[in-house]
Structure 1
Amino acid sequence: MAVEVQYRVVRNGIEKMTFTNKKEADAYDRLLDLAEHIETVLEQAPVSLNEQDREALALFLAQHQAELSGPKKTPARKAAKTAPEAAKAVA
């Protein structure tokens, strides 16, 4: 008989997800915290969303938070940005 440790993420008495890794469970719990905060902000938005759509949008935005923080600078973008500055210095 094997012993298996499980970490359950529970919100409002409803089990949302089960993990075998505590780190993953904590990360998902933080994601749900962020989604809950976003949903609270969306309640005050100038558009009306029903509760189900607001919850779905809040979770989507929380899952894509890295993309919402703005475009990432790639080495090519950095080089393109600094090239005009370098040309000014040479001239």
Structure 2
Amino acid sequence: MAVITQYVVVRNGEEKMKFTTKAEADAYDKMLDMVDELVPLLEQSEMLENEQACEDLAFYLAKQREPLLIALGAKKPAKKKTAKKVVETESAA
């Protein structure tokens, strides 16, 4: 018999998702926390007509957390590692 460890994210008594690592479960739980904060903010805007649209947009923004933080100026973009360009100098012939 095999033993399988699973991490279950539960919200309001409802099972949302199962994960095999604690880190994945924590990340998903954190994303759900962001959604819970974003939904009321989006509902206040009156730009979206229904609650489902607000929730869908909140999930999208939460999933795009890193680019959103960069766009808001709360985080700087990661520096891209590029190969050093070798500048060749011409020798006088």
Please report the TM-score for the alignment, with normalisation by the length of structure 2. 0.70
Which deviations, in whole Å up to 9, do the C-alpha atoms of 1:13-68 show, x marking residues without a partner?
A: 22111001011101100000001101121121141331111111000001112111
Runs of 4+ off more than 3 Å: none
Q: Equivalent residue for 1:36?
A: 36
User: What aligned pairs does 1:7-26 form with structure 2 within 5 A after superposition?
Assistant: 7-26=7-26
Tell me which of the two structures has the higher relative contact order, counting C-alpha pairs closer than 8 angstroms and 6 or more residues apart. Answer: 1
2:61 equivalent to 1:72: no
Q: Equivalent residue for 2:27?
A: 27
Please report the TM-score for the alignment, with normalisation by the length of structure 1. 0.72
Q: Higher helix fraction: Structure 1 or Structure 2?
A: 1
Query: Across the two proteins, how many residue pairs are aligned to each other?
Result: 75
Percent of pairs identical after alignment? 48
- Segments of 5+ residues of structure 1 without an aligned counterpart are 76-91
- Segments of 5+ residues of structure 2 without an aligned counterpart are 81-93
Partner SS for 1:44: helix
